[in-house]
Structure 1
């Protein structure tokens, strides 16, 4: 299957406001370039406060993707600046396999935040919430009310609940995260992932990146991912935007500050590994 580009580009608002401290205008005020062109997998890299999570949420709000969050700047009055900024942004959709422009994003598209994953892990510890979450996920995917009633009393659900409770006891948070992302991601959709590597060991971060590569190539999914993990960036077949730069330029992962820090650190301790 050929990788599909659902979201081709996104243009950040170039408008200004009187107060330079108003969020999210202040986050991108120094950017000399505001256009991002996306590939099948695109990484938004940046240190803390670089705006990578904010940018994902702006995209999610502009496109009205499930999981979007509203942000406010109430201390500066009643003007909904976040919504205003998002409305001033622009975007273009991609093309389907026949070269025709896509009219709208797939309904399965989703914005998944690191706190969503951590919250789901916590939910697994509570049996009733686990049951409700399992049923809700089937409703979200289109199961009718009559079918959900049958599901609640089925041996299939009982077996699945036992499996999930067993998995919670057996597996670490990191391994549970990998399983949850498997459950979340369906074929043929756009996914915005905010630091999905949270709670994952380096080896599991690499496994996650390999999974995403396969989902992009074989499941027709497009991913836009915020991360500063060298293990993710070094494994993903992605174009990388450095949000720490004013030019918002595409960069090789080996040139990024966070990655260079790891490299220099291990170089200083090289003899200890010999």
Structure 2
């Protein structure tokens, strides 16, 4: 691991009721230890997991709109609200890596096309050799993972499963394993995918309680709901639709 700890600098916060400190998991955070090569952030939308991941990217000096240290482009809502209020502890510090924001990946691909237009020598090296817009959404993600993720670095990924089929999520797990096995890569991933969460020996932090807490894979809601649905689909749907009807009648 390179990044060992994230600390919330509470002495710098003037208004604990303002966003993002109004989010319970963020407000009550002290330090978060990162002692595994692969760490997952899980939680419902609005729980703070993406906010913290974006703040880490900000402190790594990655483009918070998505990209690495050398990608200069911007999109709406790409400012890291928490970025100035955390401290990262490294051993050793690395400057290489990438921040993937699934929601702004289209804009990142457009940014690369603009670079190619401005510089004839730009040949999409590190991105599969061709425009990401000329590949399917899933193909473009895998091209990024296969070609851009290499060498010594830290990789921050916000919902990478967004464009990946289940089969390609498994392929992505293999990519993670290959990189981690070199001893030169660290991953921090915010996800809703029970497939990705199954990566062996990963640390999983849940943001769904008042405080951020470590949970086992089997205790995640993602695993429990998916397992329950697959094991008794008909009963599961029957109960779900019954609750919906009762809600409408009430």
TM-score higher than 0.5: yes
* 1:270–1:19 CA distance, 2 compared to 1 (3 A): closer
Deviations 1:168-223 (A, max 9, x none): 66x63212211122232131011111111111111111211221121122261111
Using the size of structure 1 for normalisation, the TM-score is 0.68
5+ residue gaps in structure 1?
Answer: 74-79, 95-101, 137-147
Name the stretch that deviates more: 225-234 or 237-246: 237-246
SS of the residue aligned with 2:161?
coil
Q: Greater strand share, 1 or 2?
A: 2
* Over 4 Å off, 4+ runs: 15-19, 29-33, 69-73, 160-163
Alignment match, 2:130: 164
* 1:65–1:110 CA distance, 2 compared to 1 (3 A): farther
| 8 Å contact from structure 2 (residues 128, 147) kept in 1 | no
Alignment match, 1:10: 6
Q: Aligned pair 1:263/2:227, yes or no?
A: yes
- Does 1 or 2 have the higher relative contact order (CA < 8 Å, sep 6+)? 1
Displacement after TM superposition at 1:19 (Å): 6.3
Deviations 1:36-76 (A, max 9, x none): 11121111111111111100111122x24222259999xxx
- Residues paired across the two proteins, number: 223
Q: Which has the larger radius of gyration?
A: 1
Distance 2:115 2:209 in 1: 41
Q: How does 1:221-260 map to 2 (within 5 A)?
A: 221-235=185-199, 237-260=201-224
Aligned-residue CA RMSD (Å)? 3.7
* 1:162–1:12 CA distance, 2 compared to 1 (3 A): closer
Given the alignment, which residue of 73, 84, 87 partners 1:87?
84
| 8 Å contact from structure 1 (residues 31, 248) kept in 2 | no
Alignment match, 1:57: 54
